[in-house]
Amino acid sequence: MDNQLTHTATGVGSPDVGSGASTPAAITSGRAFAERFDAMVANIGKVVKGKDDVIRLALVAMLSEGHVLFEDMPGTGKTVLARAIGQTISGENSRIQCTPDLLPADVTGSTVLDRQTGEFRFRPGPVFANVLLADELNRATPKTQAALLEAMAEKRVTFDGVTYDLPVPFFVLATMNPIELAGTFPLPEAQLDRFQFKLVVGYADRDAEVEVLRANQEQAAINRLEPAVTIAEVVEMIEWAKGVSISDSILYYIADLVQATRNDPALLMGASTRAAESLMRASRVMAASQGRDDVVPDDVKLLAHAVLNHRLLLTPDAQLREEQVGAVIDRILHRVKVPQGLRKEASSSATAEPALASASGSSSGSSASTAG
């Protein structure tokens, strides 16, 4: 199975990978958070061209301790994005090419005999990384899928009765191709719910594709990418975002949106409480990424599609009417009353809304591109 497992950083096979970093300057305000966030986006943008919308959403997921599922065509740059995030945060990358014969132990690790001591020791698998790319997840068997999703949920691995903590941050980008579905094992809705976002990369437009070609004329641009932040700085951002203020009115707004999905006649299955928690955590990071220390309704609205679109199921009648989940979410956002009397959001969010909706797969097409 060694040909299915690929590590791309030093320190592979140690449960404490990615834990060491220099002491950074402390974040003292939302503006400082936003500056560091923008530096990460700009660094990844050196190799992922025209993709700021997807990059920002992926970083929001990572900093809110979530995971991302990409359902997109081959060759759109998902692997490059995963590598770029790992290199930007000075972290360790791992990649799993999922196949039907991939075993759970190939993901989480297993015990091996140490010939020097004569004792069995645990050899960590590729899941012990800061950024893990699970390529074509739906080609792995349900048993192997469950092993990965358990690690995603618990942030630790238990083997032979011993628990091993995963590194911080631990961020999974999983991919599924919308074509060549023969021999695949679709993820059930209960497992899809483990992913905070479901995003679409999309094909390049003409100008962005030319930028990709220019960046990769001599060698792959990703091989020249330098870190922008340290692991310690990323951990500080994660902790700082948890302190972003979110009022009761926003919490009720999130709850009302989730409740509305359960009552919409076009939906067979609405969003779970986990979806509401994901929306709350992501909204805090979104607010911080724009230099604010409080959440406003537009933060929630900007993320609604990315959080909800893979958690909702249309009724058979709605499918016959050719309704789309994205249109149902738009209808719910329009119908649910927005809290009044809150400070207006920065104008940058209003201009970002169409791009973020596209990245979350709620609109057709994409003018984004990646180098690779």
Per-residue pLDDT tens over the stretch 226-247: 999 999 999 999 999 999 999 9
Please, what is the angle between helix 78-88 and helix 30-44, to 10°?
130
Which residues are 113's β-sheet partners? 120
| pLDDT higher than 90, residue 264 | yes
| pLDDT higher than 70, residue 7 | no
Q: Report all structural domains of the chain as residue ranges with CATH numbers, in order of start.
A: 2-12+24-238 (3.40.50.300), 245-359 (1.10.8.80)
Q: What is the pLDDT of residues 85-132, one digit of tens each?
A: 999 999 999 999 999 999 999 999 988 888 888 888 889 999 999 999
Give the C-alpha separation, 239 to 236, whole Å.
5
The Cα angle at residue 152 between residues 146 and 157, in degrees rounded to 5: 80
| pLDDT higher than 60, residue 357 | no
- Per the listing, tokens 């104008």 go with 347
Q: How confident is the model at residue 371 (pLDDT cuts 50, 70, 90)?
A: very low
3 state SS for 234-281: HHHHHHHHCCCECCHHHHHHHHHHHHHHHHCCCEEECCCHHHHHHHHH
Please classify residue 150 by burial: count the beta carbons closer than 10 Å to its beta carbon, then call 0-12 exposed, 13-18 middle and 19+ buried.
Answer: middle
Q: What is the pLDDT of residues 48-81, one digit of tens each?
A: 888 899 999 999 999 999 999 998 888 888 889 9
* Residue-level length of the chain: 372
Q: How confident is the model at residue 367 (pLDDT cuts 50, 70, 90)?
A: very low
Summarize the confidence of residues 186-201 as an average pLDDT: 89
pLDDT at residue 356, rounded to an integer: 62
| pLDDT higher than 70, residue 318 | yes
Please, what is the angle between helix 231-241 and helix 273-289, to 10°?
110
| pLDDT higher than 90, residue 42 | yes
Exposure string of 272-289, with b = 16+ CB inside 10 Å and e = fewer, is beebbbbbbbbbbbbbbb
Grouping H, G, I as helix, E, B as strand and the rest as coil, residue 365 is: coil
